Structure formats: structure tokens, C-alpha cells
Amino acid sequence: MEAEGPSVRLTILGSAAGGGFPQWNCNYRLSRAAREGRPGVRPRLQSSLAASAGEGRGWVLFNASPDIRQQIAQTRELQPGPDAPLRSTPIRAVVLTNADVDHLAGLLSLRERQPFHLYATARVLAVLEGNPIFRVLDPAYVTRIPIALDAPFALDGPDGPTGLVAELFAVPGKVALFLETGEAGADFEAHGEDTIGVRITSEGGARSVFYVPGCARVDPALLGRIEGGDVLLFDGTVFTDSEMAQAGVGEKTGRRMGHLPISGADGSLAALAGAKIGRRVFVHINNTNPILDEASPERAIVEAAGWEVGFDGMEIAP
Ligand code: MLT
Ligand code: MN
């Protein structure tokens, strides 16, 4: 008997940001190194996490990445079991944390008349409603469930509870890239529901996991929220704000993309240094981020600060 009740098992399915690593059209030194198979520079698929309350309870995906087919192909637990029905999946629900392409395009690959529940804020579900291609997810099979912020809810699958409980909360962020209007007021923090973090627990379990793959800055509300968590999986998109320009691959800063940098006075290392958290793991890592190279000084800096760098297939059982 576990004194603390059932726990939450996590598998990182994709630890890269949008584009993946290497990105298809990127010739920057890091993508080159990953493409060439250089030791210490692991390729990574796009941003997604799987969670389960234990053996036989099925899995919930947090974000559906464009690489979902490959992620399922390389994760045995997400495949139909040998004695399962002819068409079946252990994936019972999907939760979206925003409407960016790297987090929802994988839904299109889940279109084979397979029942699952789809949870997101009303705002993110409205983006799906507004894009007719998502009608390939037949509502007779895929139930879209709008979730209000700041209230825990049971993550049910079509045939009952998964044993997991989630709570969605707003984090500083912006609308999806393809919905930007060019007006800061409309694009940034126009809706508290555009970018969210998730607290994941299990029914009756004492462990809590925070999953925040996109975050523009650490504010007091976020600090208060994650305090005491067992695991924090956090936005590791860029190491420095101007990294993409310095690499010569684009003009946008991390902040302009809605992602705070790791380094700097108000970067994640400094802002979260005093937080009481069991394990802290960077995810959603962009292909320009030097921490992708295990031999880099930046990698040494984040590890010395107590952070782990997430990788595909990383399993965490808090
Ligand atoms: C982001 O996290 O900023 C987005 O995934 C960017 C994109 O859609 O490519
Ligand atoms: Mn992204």
C-alpha cells in the first residue's frame, strides 16, 4: 500500500518547441549536429507529454504535436495492447494548453473514428471550431469539453475515469501565432485562456505535477501556484531572449513569441530559484537553445541551478 495513494506517471513524448529538433529547414549548427548524429546532441520531437494514473488506467496526452504518429510508434504504452479490440487505443483524453500548431496539429492524426475526450479552455476550443479541418474529429466520437480555469476536474475518458485530476490556470502568454493581429493589446494577454498551465494530480494522490510549456514571464500568481509541487515541467524555449537573432535565423525575441528566456535577471532560472519544487525540468526547447548540446556551458549552468533538460522518452514518476 502506498501511503500517498496512486501517483502520476509521466512520459515526455516531445521535448522540442515548434519545428522540432532538427527543424526540417534549419541549418543552424545545433540542427546540423543533431542531423549528423553528434553524441550529446539528441534529436527531439515536438512538444507533448503523456500522463497515467497507473497500469491499466490508460493515458492522457497533454498537447497533440504534429509528430504524434511517431511519438505513439516509439512509445509502447500508447499502442493498442495485444488483446485489445481490433481498433483501440490506451489514449483516453487529450488536454490542450494553447492553440499553437505544435500543440494541436496532432489532433488531425487522431481522426480514425476513435473515441476520446478533448479538454481545453473555451477560447482554445473556439479556435478549433473556427477551423473546419478539425471537423475530421467526428463529434460522435470525440467529445470537446470546455474547462473553466482554476477549478480541478476529473480527466475522464469516454468510458469512465482515468484516475487523473487536472486544473487549468492562466499564465502570461499570447494568442496562437497564426491568430496574431499585429496589435499588442489583442495579441498579448487578450484572453486569460489563450495560454494555460496545468496542475496534474491523481484521485486520492498527494503528488502534483505542473506542466507549463509556454510562459511569457514568472509572476507572483504563478510562483504561488507552483510552490510545493513535486515536479515542474517548464518553458525552456530559449536560453537568451535574443538568441534567434544572434543565431541569424530570425528577428523575433523569445518574449515576442510569448516565451521567457532561461537566463537573465528575470529569466526562469532567476525567477524560479527560490521556489520550493521537487524536480524542475525544461521542455518545449527551441532548436536555437544551446542547452540542447550536453557539452555546452549553458547546459552546465542550468544543471548547476538544479534543472534537468527534458528529452523524448524521459519517464518521471513523482
Ligand atoms: C510557439 O511556441 O511560440 C509556437 O509553437 C510557435 C509556432 O507556432 O511555430
Ligand atoms: Mn510552441
Condensed to tens digits (0 to 9), the pLDDT of residues 88-119 reads 999 999 999 999 999 999 999 999 999 999 99
Ligand 1 neighbour 214 (Cβ under 6 A) = yes
Condensed to tens digits (0 to 9), the pLDDT of residues 9-21 reads 999 999 999 999 9
Dist CA 144 CA 150 (whole Å): 19
pTM across the whole model: 0.97
Q: Please tell me the distance between residue 288's alpha carbon and the centre of ligand 1 in angstroms.
A: 13
- Following DSSP, what letter does each residue of 177-222 receive, concatenated? GGG--S-HHHHBSS-TTSSEEEEEEETT----EEEES--S---HHH
Condensed to tens digits (0 to 9), the pLDDT of residues 33-91 reads 999 999 999 999 999 999 999 999 999 999 999 999 999 999 999 999 999 999 999 99
Average pLDDT over residues 133-140: 97
Q: Please tell me the distance between residue 200's alpha carbon and the centre of ligand 2 in angstroms.
A: 20
Instruction: Describe the strand order of the beta sheet including 142-146 as a list of residue ranges.
Output: 142-146, 116-120, 91-95, 59-62, 48-52, 9-14, 315-316
pLDDT at 183: 87
- Confidence tier at 207 by pLDDT (50, 70, 90): very high
Mutation test residue for ligand 1: of 101, 175, 179, 288, the one with most atoms within 8 Å of CB: 101
Ligand 1 neighbour 118 (Cβ under 6 A) = no
Cα angle value 212/217/223 (rounded, 5°): 70
- Dig out the grid coordinates for 6 from the structure: 496512486
Output 135 or 4, whichever has higher pLDDT: 135
Q: Is residue 55 within 8 Å of residue 7, measured between CB atoms?
A: no
